[in-house]
Chains A and B, each alone.
Chain A
Amino acid sequence: MRRYFRLHRIFIVQYLKRLMEYKTDFLLGAIGLLISQAFQILFIGIIFSQIPNLQGWSFEEIIFIYGFSLIPKSLDHLFFDNLWMVGYRIVKKGDFDKYLTRPINSLFHVCVENFCVDAFGEMLTCGLLLGYAIPRLELPFRWYTIPLLLVVVVFATMIYTSLKIMTAAISFWTKESGHITHMLYMTNDFSKYPVTIYNRAVQAIITYVIPFAFTAYFPASYFLTGKDPLFCIGGTVIAGTVLFVIALFVWNRGIRAYESAGS
């Protein structure tokens, strides 16, 4: 385990060295994410200029949930972005061979090879939104709020990452699966708003099938109200764990089915 942390650090350092060569590109990526989030917030702002609340949710609460949703999303983006490439390119071109000839875990290796600093754009947005919302809300704060938040963030990130691992692993059988990852990944946007605005079917899907609701709305609503910790926090932990176990299983089965490419 310590060895893996050490390796991770070394990879990040190498990545940052590489980044120095492409400074403008990094800035553009981060700015792009910042701008695209800013327009979404503008949209929410315009809505709230006309209505006092959104089905009982105040502007600050909506902003809090929205900002919260960006924590696991940006972390997953920062550390595990290379999984996209597995589904789009690495397996199809046979470049996965390399990871299998190294004496470290292939999933770990493929993940740490890229460290996507574009995610800082999302993190900045996230910080601004939470920085705006938190002082304006009267959040129930207890001694265990911060540790609990850290735990939730870890498991919520695992939900994102596990879904990406699972769908990326499909490419071991089909050669290409980036579009499947895309399809499932896009449902994460549902988690930016309170799930109470959706109909039953959508609620059921994002709670039990593709449990993105546990990456933002449920934990965020616990931190807002202090109610239902068992479902809101426990659910996130369970969803993250279950998905991660399935993802590892699918990944390992996938490696056995990996057929490489060409000659």
Chain B
Amino acid sequence: MKRLSRFFRTYRPFTRAGMQEMVAYRANFICFFIGEIMSAFIMYFVWKAVFLSSDSETFMGFTMEDMVVYLFITFLTGYLTYSDGAFSVGMEILDGSIAMRMVRPCSFEMCFLFQELGNRLISMTMIFVPMVAGVEIYRFCITGEVRFNLMYFGFYLLSLVFAYMISFYFNVIYGFMAFFFKNLWGTTLVKETLVSFLSGGIIPLAFLPTGLANVLNFLPFASLSYTPVMIYMGMYSVTEILWRIGLQIFWMLVMMGLSKLVWNSAVKHLSIQGG
């Protein structure tokens, strides 16, 4: 307990720094956010047109209402679990300032983690409540009943935390690898497109051929976005939810282990590079 409180005291300043940074750049953040959410609205109109053009009420098992919830909650989940620690790691390795991180008496990735948590905390307050409220109001208007389920929502939040942790460690690993390339923009685009597809960000996994969908459901990428979104939508039974969250925890531990391995070899590489 004492160790835990000390742990939090050590990293609290990073969280605070992350929050302040976010507050200082909130105008940029809002502009960026509006730009990004545009794609969700385009998809909304495309799906509306799809449902209008289709004879049936459902599209591969999704109603229009499901689709809208899926689109916007996927967007929100993607936004909240997005981690760009990787970019910072890559940059710091390139310009050598990572050495400063290594001489400090605190865990290197924890500094990033807590800084980003502070960041996320502020963006949560700015976008989370309005978006969830918007989605629920839309559902209410369409169906005439309150679809919001507190239990699913609670599980969603829990699943979101694990999704973020997987995303964080995955991106730390990516960051260590990416510094071999100079065009971080290009590699990041490749990575983000692939991750987005594999995690159901472009097309719900359920729409893919069954064999492929089953495989993707087990990969860590589904844990990043598809799992929490499905939980939010109430698509899973309680047993399935627990099972899915278990899978998330498994992938989180794997990513943590891998990031340690990559970190160790990166440090070796670093000491060879510096004369």
Question: CB distance A54 to B50 under 8 Å?
Answer: yes
In the bound assembly, the distance between CA atoms of A118 and B207 in angstroms comes to 31
User: For residue B45, which residues in chain A have a CB less than 8 angstroms away from its CB?
Assistant: 193, 197-199, 202
User: For residue B59, which residues in chain A have a CB less than 8 angstroms away from its CB?
Assistant: 50
The reply on A173 being an interface residue by CB < 8 A is no
Given A55-B52, A183-B32, A190-B38, residue A197 in contact with residue B46 (CB < 8 A) = yes
Q: Interface extent on A, as a size class?
A: 35 or more
Within 8 A of B (CB), among A240-254: none
Question: CB distance A197 to B48 under 8 Å?
Answer: yes
Question: CB distance B54 to A50 under 8 Å?
Answer: yes
Question: CB distance A189 to B38 under 8 Å?
Answer: yes
B56 to chain A, nearest CB (A): 9
The reply on A15 being an interface residue by CB < 8 A is no
Pick from A29, A54, A180, A182: contact of B49, CB below 8 A. A54
Q: Chain A: which residue is nearest B36 at the CB level?
A: A186
A45 to chain B, nearest CB (A): 10
Question: CB distance A193 to B42 under 8 Å?
Answer: yes
Question: CB distance B50 to A47 under 8 Å?
Answer: yes
B12 to chain A, nearest CB (A): 29
Q: Chain B: which residue is nearest A182 at the CB level?
A: B35
Q: Chain B: which residue is nearest A40 at the CB level?
A: B202
Pick from A52, A180, A192: contact of B31, CB below 8 A. A180
User: For residue A31, which residues in chain B have a CB less than 8 angstroms away from its CB?
Assistant: 186, 190
User: For residue B31, which residues in chain A have a CB less than 8 angstroms away from its CB?
Assistant: 179-180, 182-183
Segment at the A interface, from B136-144, B167-175, B177-185: B177-185
The reply on B39 being an interface residue by CB < 8 A is yes
User: For residue A179, which residues in chain B have a CB less than 8 angstroms away from its CB?
Assistant: 27-29, 31-32, 35
Pick from B42, B183, B202: contact of A28, CB below 8 A. B183
In the bound assembly, the distance between CA atoms of A42 and B154 in angstroms comes to 34
Chain B at the A interface: mostly helix, strand, loop or mixed? helix
Question: CB distance B53 to A189 under 8 Å?
Answer: no
Given A39-B202, A43-B203, residue A22 in contact with residue B49 (CB < 8 A) = no
The reply on A225 being an interface residue by CB < 8 A is no
User: For residue B41, which residues in chain A have a CB less than 8 angstroms away from its CB?
Assistant: 202
Question: CB distance B189 to A22 under 8 Å?
Answer: no
In the bound assembly, the distance between CA atoms of A193 and B42 in angstroms comes to 9
Question: CB distance B52 to A32 under 8 Å?
Answer: no
Choose among B28, B53, B181 the residue with the greatest number of A CB atoms under 10 Å from its CB. B53
Beta-carbon contacts of A189-220 to B below 8 Å, as 1s and 0s? 11011000111001000000000000000000
B200 to chain A, nearest CB (A): 12
Given A35-B193, A202-B45, residue A189 in contact with residue B183 (CB < 8 A) = no
Within 8 A of A (CB), among B51-87: 52-54, 59-60
Beta-carbon contacts of A20-46 to B below 8 Å, as 1s and 0s? 001011111111110110011011001
User: For residue B60, which residues in chain A have a CB less than 8 angstroms away from its CB?
Assistant: 50
In the bound assembly, the distance between CA atoms of A198 and B41 in angstroms comes to 10
In the bound assembly, the distance between CA atoms of A56 and B52 in angstroms comes to 10
Given A50-B54, A176-B28, A183-B31, residue A189 in contact with residue B190 (CB < 8 A) = no
Given A183-B35, A186-B38, A197-B46, residue A35 in contact with residue B185 (CB < 8 A) = no
Beta-carbon contacts of A159-200 to B below 8 Å, as 1s and 0s? 000000000000000001011101111110110110001110
Question: CB distance A51 to B183 under 8 Å?
Answer: no
Pick from A22, A47, A50, A176: contact of B183, CB below 8 A. A22
The reply on B153 being an interface residue by CB < 8 A is no
Beta-carbon contacts of A44-66 to B below 8 Å, as 1s and 0s? 00110011111110000000000
Question: CB distance A118 to B186 under 8 Å?
Answer: yes
Given A36-B193, A189-B38, A197-B46, residue A29 in contact with residue B32 (CB < 8 A) = no
Choose among A22, A192, A197, A199 the residue with the greatest number of B CB atoms under 10 Å from its CB. A197
Q: Can you list 21 residue pairs at the A/B interface with Cβ under 8 Å?
A: A22-B183, A25-B186, A26-B186, A28-B190, A30-B186, A32-B186, A32-B188, A32-B190, A36-B189, A39-B193, A39-B196, A50-B50, A118-B186, A179-B35, A183-B31, A184-B35, A186-B34, A186-B35, A187-B38, A193-B42, A193-B46
Kindly list the 4 A-B residue pairs having the minimum CB-CB distance in the complex, ordered from nearest. A25-B183, A32-B189, A29-B186, A28-B186
Extra contacts besides A46-B208, A50-B60, A182-B35 (11): CB < 8 Å? A28-B181, A28-B190, A32-B185, A43-B203, A46-B207, A51-B53, A54-B46, A54-B53, A182-B31, A183-B35, A197-B46
